[in-house]
Amino acid sequence: MARKFLYIVAVLIVLAIAAGFAYRLFPAEIMRASLIPTAPFEALPGAAPNAYASPKMWIARPDKPGNPALWTPPGYKPAAAPEAAVFFIHPTSYLNRARWNGPLDDPEANARADLFLRAQASAFNDVGMIWAPRYRQATFGAFLTNRAEAKQALDLAYGDVSIAFDQFLKEAGDRPIILAGHSQGAYHLARLLHDRIAGTPLARRIVAAYVVGWPVSKSADLPRLGLPECATADQPGCILSWQSFAEPADPSLIFDTFDATTGFTGAPRKGTALICTNPITGTPDAAAPATANLGTLVPDAELDKAALVPGRIPAHCSGRGLLLIGTPPDLGNYVLPGNNYHVYDYSLFWANVRADAARRLAAFKAASAH
């Protein structure tokens, strides 16, 4: 029996080594095989028009006890009287391939979403009160395929976000607005800019839109988003976007799907240049040394604490519009294939994003006073 057990252990070790080699050789293929749902898309009714009047539909809102968006690292505090209203759309936290859309009450997805708000939305709590809705997000695998079910899942998720945005506007009053999202949240934010902001009076209230972790084509998307790309560090009413990669970078996992789509203008996105804002400088297509990075959030092993470490990560825009951060830094186990630091897009530059939002709000207020 003992010998049989040892044989089983040996086989498992060999399989683990083989799996490791396979993942290094074929990471994109393995991710697609393990994360894209095989179940049919489940058509669900849209959210009721008043669904987001309920506080339980929000991960963060100004009156929510235990609001994760109010977390700050040591040395920082949320503003006592923030002047802006922030609508933040969280990234994909539902990883299960059993469904195309995550249920609102999935405990693992909700716990991950809380973590994302602490690491990302918290950068804005110095300037604004933060609203972040729960929504029936598309599962992670929906971004690894161009199957019709993926589009249906994203449409369902966007329907929730759009209704949440209506409630946000009711509660935000006449405050200046900051829009922010990451990954799937940025995907929905770009669509929100196209559908709800472009060509409307609401565009004049936008301090900035942080469309982070999702490609924005300068030619196929930007002309229809209603706001220009941010050209200077203190420009209000504009769009910032970046995608973080260490070197050597392989963005094929993203571009294989993105390049098969058409933009908001109706033109193909394939091969087009992307908005690349350097969050350290707040300017496009720029380079900055690590010494200019005001602080990177470095999490502990349990992901319940993080220290802010300045001067660690450089950044420069390169090629088609990737933000490159040099040699791969050790920030944890969530780096995606191709040296993609997608999960850390905000955390890498947390203090600079915080300063950027404050700078743009000040410029917005100064322009509004004239």
Q: Which pLDDT does position 34 carry in this prediction?
A: 63
Q: Is there a domain that residue 331 lies in? A: yes
Q: Is there a domain that residue 3 lies in? A: no
Q: Is there a domain that residue 13 lies in? A: no
* Alpha carbon distance 146, 142 (integer Å): 8
* Alpha carbon distance 327, 148 (integer Å): 38
In three-state form (DSSP H/G/I as H, E/B as E, the rest C), the secondary structure along the chain is CHHHHHHHHHHHHHHHHHHHHHHHHCHHHHHHHHHCCCCCCCCCCCCCCCHHHCHHHEEECCCCCCCHHHCCCCCCCCCCCCCEEEEEECCCCCCCCCCCECCCCCHHHHHHHHHHHHHCHHHHCCCEEEEEECCCCECHHHHHCCCHHHHHHHHHHHHHHHHHHHHHHHHHCCCCEEEEEECHHHHHHHHHHHHHHCCCHHHHHEEEEEEECCCCECCCCHHHCCCCECCCCCCCCEEECCCEECCCCCCHHHHHHHCCCECCCCCECCCCCECCEECCCCEECCEECHHHCCCEEEECCCCCCEEEECCCCCEEEECCCEEECCCCCCCCCCCECCCECHHHCCHHHHHHHHHHHHHHHHHHHHHHCC
The β-bridge partners of 211 are 181
Q: Which pLDDT does position 38 carry in this prediction?
A: 76
Q: Mind listing the pLDDT tens digit for each residue in 82-126?
A: 999 999 999 999 988 889 999 999 999 999 999 999 999 999 999
* Alpha carbon distance 213, 323 (integer Å): 10
Picking from 38-47, 199-208, 223-232, which range would have the lowest pLDDT averaged per residue?
38-47
Q: Is there a domain that residue 9 lies in? A: no
Q: Which pLDDT does position 116 carry in this prediction?
A: 95
* Alpha carbon distance 95, 93 (integer Å): 6
Q: Is there a domain that residue 226 lies in? A: yes
Percent over 90 (pLDDT), the chain: 77
Tokens of 279: 């969050």
pLDDT exceeds cutoff 80 at 39: no
Q: Is there a domain that residue 11 lies in? A: no
- pLDDT band per the 50, 70, 90 thresholds, residue 17: very low
Q: Mind listing the pLDDT tens digit for each residue in 48-82?
A: 999 999 999 999 999 999 999 999 999 999 999 99
Q: Structurally, how many domains does the chain consist of?
A: 1
The larger pLDDT score, comparing residue 299 to residue 189, is at 189
> Residues 157, 66: contact at Cβ < 8 Å?
no
The larger pLDDT score, comparing residue 256 to residue 302, is at 256
- pTM for the model: 0.91
Beta-sheet pairing, 283-284 with 287-288: unpaired
pLDDT exceeds cutoff 70 at 25: no
What is the residue range of 225's domain?
Answer: 19-368
Closest of 179, 215, 188, 204 to residue 323, by C-alpha: 215
Tokens of 250: 């392989």
pLDDT exceeds cutoff 50 at 4: no
Q: Which pLDDT does position 5 carry in this prediction?
A: 34
Q: Which pLDDT does position 115 carry in this prediction?
A: 94
Q: Which pLDDT does position 207 carry in this prediction?
A: 98
Residue 198 neighbours by CB under 8 Å, 6+ apart: 224, 225, 226, 227
Q: Which pLDDT does position 171 carry in this prediction?
A: 96
> Residues 190, 198: contact at Cβ < 8 Å?
no
Q: Which pLDDT does position 41 carry in this prediction?
A: 72
Q: Is there a domain that residue 224 lies in? A: yes
Q: Is there a domain that residue 308 lies in? A: yes
Picking from 167-176, 201-210, 331-340, which range would have the lowest pLDDT averaged per residue?
331-340
- pLDDT band per the 50, 70, 90 thresholds, residue 194: very high
Q: Mind listing the pLDDT tens digit for each residue in 301-341?
A: 766 678 999 999 999 999 999 999 999 999 888 899 899 99
pLDDT exceeds cutoff 70 at 220: yes
Calculate the average pLDDT of the chain. 90
